[in-house]
Amino acid sequence: MNRKKWLILLSMTALLGMSACSGGNNGPSSNTATEPDNSQPSAESGNASVTDGPFTKYQDTVKITLGRQGVSGNNLPAGDTLEDNEYLRYVEERLNVDVQYEFSVEDLKAYNQKVTLAIASNSIPDVMIVDEQQFHQLAKANMLADLTDIYENYASPLIKEYYNSYTGDRVLNTGKIDGKLYALPNTNIDGNFQLIWIRKDWLDKLQLELPKTVDDVKGIVKAFVEKDPDGNGVKDTTGLLGDPGIVGDGGFFTFDPLFNAYHSYPKSWFKDEAGNIFYGSTTPETKEALGVLREMYASGLIDKEFLTRKWEDNAGLVSSGRAGILFAPWFAGWAMSDAVKANEKADWVPLAVPLDDAGERNVVPSVPSGSFLVVNKNAKNPEAVLKMLNVEYEGIRLIDPATQELYKGQGVGWLNYPLNLQLDFQDSLARDIPIYDKVLQDKNKNDLPARILPRVESLLKNQDNPKQDMAAYADSLAFYTAAAVTGAKELKRIEPVFYGNTETMLKRGANLDKLENETFLRIITGASPLDEFDKFVSTWKSIGGDKVAEEIAEIVKQK
């Protein structure tokens, strides 16, 4: 699988909080064991009727203007467009709304420019999806509708369940200002942290046990490098794969788990017991973790060429059988299938390790949200936007039987629905595992939700003929084997106190990040001594880090 395809997949998972697609019409996955039946009779009531509710159809047509990012390669059949397709008509007909596109721009940069111009001219459509900075800009300009009561009265039970699944309203709160809801945020599902992926067949050949601690991982890497696990008689196995980005949510080949094992959480912000805000990259624990990485690199346990390797190079080492251990998220299951395609004996397993000294695998949850659905305060029917979202998710999740026939088998993506806001349960990945367990045991597919059937078919196909159908095997490895690990009992979530950007971050963040990354890489590779870390902390604080901490402290205080 090439990098372009993986970038598309990543955009549907970690980067935009989107889980991979499933269902007859390729909607975003909702990995819930049961979905409530949110359908309600379409009451023919007046537009201001007291019986109005989340699914009530308007008697008189309501017009909604929309601006949104378009869809590249949406696979719509000839004659259908983003502005005129079956998904859009389904929403319009159920509610008697007329959705009129003010603009749709495929390129993200061009779309953001369009949004910025609309804000500057005080002429925004009724609804659009914006980033965090644009959301706060709109709120500051008093251009947004207060959705507090509208959400309570018109959001469907399913939509509310999605938001309520996130501990302490950690997602919905990102759309609030001074306690009022001015935006509906997207949801980034739990589980995009890195797992350790290991060639189990190599472990078996070398008579090694599955690892638990950092020392276990070191021992396995050393054995893989020195003891010819593939049996080709050539010392050509690389050490632990790496990425010059060092750490990153949802990143491939990054070293997050090794930092986390030492209670180090780079790139994240926390509050200490005294109430002080601190940055995870500047702690003594981070220095300790860098020291461990430095020793591993010096002894050949980390790929000596990781600084210069591109993503494709690492993927090639995996598929060619030269690499047998790496860190990557659950959706790396599809990448591992490339190695199995080349060598059927390859047996990749994911684990929630290395564990810390308390036997826990520490993880930092993904940013709660990154995009926000906002409604113009001058919209005549702001509640219609909530109704549209309700109806849309009955279609995306295939809850309404009629939606199961829309573009059936044509691979048309859910983004062609009018509101491209991704919502799901926080524990989305782990929710369906009990269903899979039961189906694989009794082979009974009766009464399963329609959205889950394609994935169940993949699991059953791979169970009957393991590794013979690569698509089925990849789905099984990702959605079943690896997804189950994201719910492991050893996991301990370390919640940052702040996500997002401050004014100083926007101005100086690039320089701060560059200083951090370059210093860490020099320390790991031995180009600088470990004590260079202390100089980095001092410099980082003086050129903007302390100012960022002050800004975050003020923001946190206002919550």
437-464 pLDDT, tens digit each: 999 999 999 988 888 898 999 999 999 9
- Measuring CA to CA, which residue among 144, 493, 197, 522 is closest to residue 339? 197
Cβ contacts of residue 464 below 8 Å, gap of 6+? Answer: none
403-414: average pLDDT: 91
- Rounded to whole angstroms, how far apart are CA atoms 4 and 83? 27
Domain parsing of the chain, residue ranges? 24-189+369-416, 195-364+495-558
| Res. 26: pLDDT tops 50 | no
Helices (H) and strands (E) in the chain, counts: 21, 16
| Residue 453: both structure tokens together | 């059937």
Q: Are 315 and 305 in contact (CB under 8 A)?
A: no
Q: What is the mean pLDDT of the chain?
A: 90
453-464 helix and 433-442 helix, angle to the nearest 10 degrees: 50
pLDDT score for 20: 34
Q: Which residues of 58-68 are buried (b: 16+ CB within 10 A; e: fewer)?
A: beeebebbbbb
Cβ contacts of residue 542 below 8 Å, gap of 6+? Answer: none
- Measuring CA to CA, which residue among 33, 100, 95 is closest to residue 60? 95
pLDDT score for 47: 52
Q: How many CB atoms are located within 10 Å of the residue 14 CB? A: 25
| Residue 199: both structure tokens together | 């060639």
Cβ contacts of residue 50 below 8 Å, gap of 6+? Answer: none
pLDDT score for 409: 85
Same fold, 24-189+369-416 and 195-364+495-558: yes
Q: Are 97 and 127 in contact (CB under 8 A)?
A: no
| Residue 391: both structure tokens together | 């109806």
To the question of domain 24-189+369-416 being in CATH 3.40.190.10, the answer is: yes
Q: How is 302-336 classified by DSSP, letter by letter?
A: B-TTTTT--HHHHHHHHHTTS--EEEE-GGGHHHH
pLDDT score for 559: 65
Cβ contacts of residue 518 below 8 Å, gap of 6+? Answer: none
The pairing of strands 62-69 and 97-105 is parallel
Q: What is the CATH number of domain 195-364+495-558?
A: 3.40.190.10
- Measuring CA to CA, which residue among 7, 35, 4 is closest to residue 331? 7
- Rounded to whole angstroms, how far apart are CA atoms 141 and 131? 15
For residue 109, the number of C-alpha atoms closer than 13 Å in the C-beta half-sphere is: 0
pLDDT score for 314: 96
- Measuring CA to CA, which residue among 502, 515, 506, 521 is closest to residue 541? 515
| Res. 18: pLDDT tops 70 | no
Poorest-pLDDT segment among 25-29, 53-57, 274-278, 293-297: 25-29
Identify the burial level of 510 via C-beta atoms within 10 angstroms of its C-beta, where 0-12 means exposed, 13-18 middle and 19 or more buried: exposed
- Scanning the structure block, which residue is given the tokens 């305060």? 377
Report, in angstroms and rounded to the nearest whole number, the Rg of the chain calculated over CA atoms.
25
- Rounded to whole angstroms, how far apart are CA atoms 428 and 188? 10
pLDDT score for 5: 43
C-alpha dist (Å) from residue 472 to 30, 409, 445, 462: 19, 17, 17, 6
Q: Are 76 and 416 in contact (CB under 8 A)?
A: yes
Poorest-pLDDT segment among 73-82, 107-116, 128-137, 348-357: 73-82
- Rounded to whole angstroms, how far apart are CA atoms 413 and 415? 5
Mapped onto helix, strand or coil, the DSSP state of residue 2 is coil
383-396 helix and 86-95 helix, angle to the nearest 10 degrees: 130
| Res. 22: pLDDT tops 90 | no
469-516 pLDDT, tens digit each: 999 999 999 999 999 999 999 999 999 999 888 999 989 999 999 999
Per-residue three-class SS string for 275-301: CCEEEHHHCHHHHHHHHHHHHHHHCCC
Q: Are 476 and 247 in contact (CB under 8 A)?
A: no
pTM for this structure? Answer: 0.85
C-alpha dist (Å) from residue 30 to 23, 53, 187, 415: 10, 24, 12, 15
540-557: average pLDDT: 94
For residue 522, the number of C-alpha atoms closer than 13 Å in the C-beta half-sphere is: 15
